[in-house]
Structure 1
Amino acid sequence: MKQEQSIQTILEGQTKRALRAYRLRLTASVDCIRFLLKQGLAFRGHDESEYSRNRGNFIELLRFLADHSAEIFGVVLQNAPSNCKLVCSDIQKEIVHAASIETTNKIIEELGQELFSVLVDESRDISCKEQMAIVLRFVSKQGMIVERFLAIVRVSETTSMSLKVSLEELFCKHGLSFSRLRGQGYDGASNMRGEFNGLKALILKENSCAYYVHCFAHQLQLVLVAVAEKHKRIATLFTYLSNLQSTVGASCQRRDKLREERAAEVQEALKDGDLSIGTGSNQETSLARPGTTRWSSHYRSLTNLTILFGAVMSVLEDILENAKDAYNRGNASSLLDSLATFEFVFSCLFMKNVLAITHELSQALQKKEQENINAVDLVVVAKLRLQNMRDNGWNSLLDEVHSFCSKHKIDVLNMEDEKVAKRSERAIQGMKNDHYYRIDLFYAVIDLILRELNDRFTEANTELLRYKATKVYGKICIL
């Protein structure tokens, strides 16, 4: 009997071929999953049946690989054994879980025995479950400051003690300890930054070197939020902005009308010599919706509104005349009455100039660590510029408001006349316009911003940010 024709040899050959096919099939599935994970794409589709034209990202990507490789084509999907296709959701989850374990182990290996800081934030997912995201920040062996996302931990409660227990369990799981912690970074929630019972206080009781620094960019947002919440006129201004964007941008026809009106204005200004032609000049602009957490968007909203003011008024007049329903006509009429006033123009240009100062600081605070020394200096510069605006900026602002009102045919108020008080402003009856706009609005808002900046950007926190920016502080990385 020939050895190569024996049953044992044939079975061994079939086993080797099946093993090779399995490994090739598994490798193809792993490669597809790695790609989808890296790009943050969904795996599954609405219809993954064989007759579907789009079976989801995972299967379609696997089919793409098979179409470009005859070797892979022969072992996947319809050419794979019915009980070993490696495409079901359970297999996908197992591979993803294995990838997460390997990634986490690599992060812990990269950290080694170095000191580190922790960044923590809590939020609800789409299924309304509370979870805590943990990021490690440390100095790598190459001397670079790196941030590594470690885990998302499901928490049943958001109390400071519950968060501390969950964080401690995660540290124990990966061989970390609070004794190596040298920095804490959280948002401004009371359960995180509380002086006595907050998460940062509980950790400081165990390790007094785990310094807490509130995110500087977030603090700046809170400064501007405080202004909007505490000053009624500024809060009203941003309410008008949001309502205006919803009204003018409610349909494609209104957006097209806005573009047409703006294009006509630009052509007229170019013809009269009021605008110059150049690369990047006179680009198409649209109204930007102000965001609730990103106050840089408020600066863009105000800037775009001042550019598009004439076109916006034309669109509102068109809505007032041609809208079919009474709600849109009434809304447009209310906005027209509010926007075409000296008070609105003053508030708009004033806050645009204020936010222009803080916008540069906001952008710097969100850049990479190599820009943070400049960001520290910009905190001081922003305070000085605001103080200079308070001391010397009144006349220039008033001239800008007068010029804007004259351009758009809006009545200019005499500062020596008595302020016409609305029903909600009985407290200012008998007050002159100069006192209202200069003292109650101009000085009051700038003083409020300066006070909030001084309270939140203290000298101690500024020095900690300087240490962070130098990258070398006993190999301690502080947020």
Structure 2
Amino acid sequence: MTAPSIQKEFCNYFAAEVLKKIFDELSDDVFSILVDESRDVSKKEQTAMVLRYVDKFGFVKERFVGLVHVMETTALSLKKVIDELFAHYNLSLSRIRGQGYDGASNMSDEFNGLKALILKENSSAYFVHCFAHQLQLIVVALANKHHDIFKFLNEVSSLVNVVGASCKRVDLIRESQRERLGLNPEVETGSGQNQELSLARAGDMCWSSHEKTMTRLLSLYPSVIDVLEYIKNSGEIDAHKSQANGFQLYMRTFTFVFYLHLMKHILGVTNTLCEALQRKDQDILNAVKLVKTTKEELQTYRLEGFDSLLINVTSFCDKYDIEMVNMEAAYVDLKNRRKKTDITNRHHYVVNNFNTVLDMQIQELGNRFNEVTTNLLTYVSSLSPCLNFEAFDKLNLLKLAEMYPCDFNFDEKDKLIYELGTYIANVKEDTRFDNLNGVSELAKKMVETRKHIDFPLVYRLIKISLVLPVATASVERSFSSMKHLKTELRNRMGDGLLNDACIFLH
């Protein structure tokens, strides 16, 4: 029973049972695919695939179904992998109604990408660029376009690397934090309160990492200053001493504190959206509304938020004895001190920094999510049950059915006209459909009230809209599982066993 060959058989049987359950849930219904690739610990390129579908109870499911080692990551090779996987599990390419990938050119290229190859065989397999990836790319785009933000994020990245370069320095942060909490009589103790913290490194494609870095830096500010003081006084290498002194001087400037608070707020707002997009049952219509709400919140903050930001920055500077800037004094450009700028410090921080950064953020949100204005999502929005089905539009839903010729034949399209009229009158009078939030809740309520039997064509439209992918978070989670299974100590694990173990683990 403990022999490796027997253990592999067990794992294979378990994986087969898991897949059987998934395909029983899926049956012969429509679904979307989410695909991504990543290298494992032995430098093999692994492609993971997740299916998104609606089960018989109206719940949206995202299920991992396979991990395949590929020699190349070209669109043709990935298409071949999908074809072989579909053939192995008796899945039909014609049942695909959506494709979800990140922004890599081999996936989303308009002419030669994986999405284009699948669209040639199935015109109803509409592509949706992962919302979470687009949102994370906004941080990178903002940093590249605004010189001062670019410099600030680079300094923060270097600072985190220096302070967290050794176990001793991390321990010094924790010890300093512990001492400060012990000297504060207002600190509450107990389970889950005032836990040990450390600085988090930010990554361009690591969701939520930038926001966590800013939050930790604010919380650990005095402890980080203490560690830099220690490096400056006790370091063995002059370059390290000089670097620590430079960071310490920069952290004690008003500019650093201003950008730290500004970016914390912006990233906090966008991080709320990021977490919402990663929900497995998130529907694409609700995701579009969340993006719109985030843009509106940033716009409100741009118009009304500077004074509150300045109050927080001033309070922070007073607390840690940082020299404040006189907002009414003339602004001096540090790069050219002799040249008069003819503007005040307030104008510089409000117009050149606060407004500009937020305008760029709002603009990038609009640019990155411009595809959500397509006809497909306009038609899907007519299914929304919010505000007693206020957005319902029979004409738009008929156009939505036209976009899926494989799902609605000529007779069904004719029948759908009358079914939509009966459906909207019925659900508006039914109090059980009051206060629904999103199409996903509508699908569950339709099954719960058995109206999916009375209005099968309308329910078919609802299912099609729900299988449209929102984010590739489920694929990213499968890669996390892969890295836990195939480690440095198990780097010779075969591809078959790795695939079975990942399926079983999910």
Q: What do residues 271-324 of structure 1 show as CA deviations (whole Å, max 9, x unaligned)?
A: xxxx46476654443322223323422222212212221222122112211222
Distance 1:138 1:426 in 2: 65
The one-letter amino acid of 2:334's match is A
3-state SS of the aligned residue for 2:129? Answer: coil
Q: What secondary structure is seen at the aligned counterpart in 1 of 2:37?
A: strand
- Where in structure 1 are there 5+ consecutive unaligned residues? 1-28, 30-61, 63-86
Aligned counterpart, 2:275? 363
Q: Is the 8 A contact 1:118 1:135 kept in 2?
A: yes
The one of 242, 253, 257 equivalent to 1:345 is 257
Query: Is 1:478 aligned to 2:471, yes or no?
Result: no
Q: Percent identity?
A: 44
SS of 1:213's equivalent in the other structure is: strand
Residues 115, 182 of structure 1: 8 Å contact kept: yes
Deviation larger for 324-333 or 250-259 = 250-259
- Pick closer, same or farther for the CA change 1:453–1:436 going to 2, 3 Å: same
Bigger Cα displacement from structure 2, 94-103 vs 113-122: 94-103
After superposition, the Cα gap between the structure-2 partners of 1:411 and 1:203, relative to the gap in structure 1 and judged at 3 Å, is same
Q: In structure 1, how many angstroms separate the alpha carbons of the residues matched to 2:142 and 2:440?
A: 29
Summarize the Cα distance change of 1:326–1:95 in structure 2 as closer, same or farther, 3 Å threshold.
same
Partner of 1:155: 70
Cross-structure match for 2:334? 421
Matched, 1:309 2:241: no
Closer/same/farther in 2, CA of residues 194 and 467 from structure 1, 3 Å limit: farther
Instruction: Verify the 8 A CA contact 1:371 1:469 in the aligned structure 2.
Output: no
Q: 2:209 aligns with which of 282, 291, 297?
A: 297
Point out which structure has higher relative CO (alpha carbons under 8 A, 6+ apart): 2
Aligned to 1:285: 197
Instruction: State the shift of 1:185 in Å.
Output: 0.9
Between 343-352 and 401-410, the greater mean CA deviation after superposition: 401-410
Q: TM-score, normalised by structure 1?
A: 0.72
Equivalent residues of 1:419, 1:436 under 8 A apart:
no
* Alpha-carbon distance in 1 for matches of 2:340, 2:368: 32
C-alpha deviation, 1:363, in angstroms: 1.7
**1:405 equivalent among 309, 317, 336:** 317
**Which amino acid in the other structure matches residue 245 of structure 2?**
S
Residue 182 (structure 1) shift: 0.8
Change (3 A) 1:303 1:110: closer
Asked whether 1:189 is paired with 2:104, we answer yes
1:253 Cα deviation from its structure 2 partner = 3.5
Alignment partners' CA distance in 2, 1:239 and 1:220: 20
* Matches of 1:447 and 1:245, distance apart in 2: 28
Q: Is the 8 A contact 1:168 1:177 kept in 2?
A: no
Query: Is the radius of gyration larger for structure 1 or structure 2?
Result: 1
Give the gaps of 5 or more residues in structure 2.
382-437, 444-458, 470-506
CA distance in 1 between counterparts of 2:177 and 2:7 reads 52
TM-score normalised according to structure 2 size: 0.69
Structure 1 residues 128 and 254: alpha-carbon distance in aligned structure 2, compared to 1, 3 A threshold: closer
Q: Which moved more, 1:92-101 or 1:405-414?
A: 92-101
Give the SS at the match of 1:182. strand
Superposition deviation, residue 181 in structure 1: 0.9
| Partner residue of 2:363 out of 446, 451, 460 | 451
1:213-271, CA deviations, whole angstroms, 9 ceiling, x for partnerless residues? Answer: 2222222112222212322322322222232223223334433432343344345543x
Q: After superposition, where does 1:191-230 map in structure 2 within 5 Å?
A: 191-230=106-145
Taking the aligned partners of 2:318 and 2:207, their CA distance within structure 1 comes to 29
Residue 220 of structure 2: SS of its match in structure 1?
helix
Query: Amino acid of the residue matched to residue 289 of structure 1?
Result: R
Report the AA paired with residue 226 of structure 1.
A
The equivalent of 1:9 in structure 2 is none
Give, in angstroms, the shift of residue 336 of structure 1. Answer: 0.8
1:112 counterpart (15, 27, 40)? 27
2:348 is equivalent to residue 433 of structure 1: no
How many residue pairs match? The answer is 389
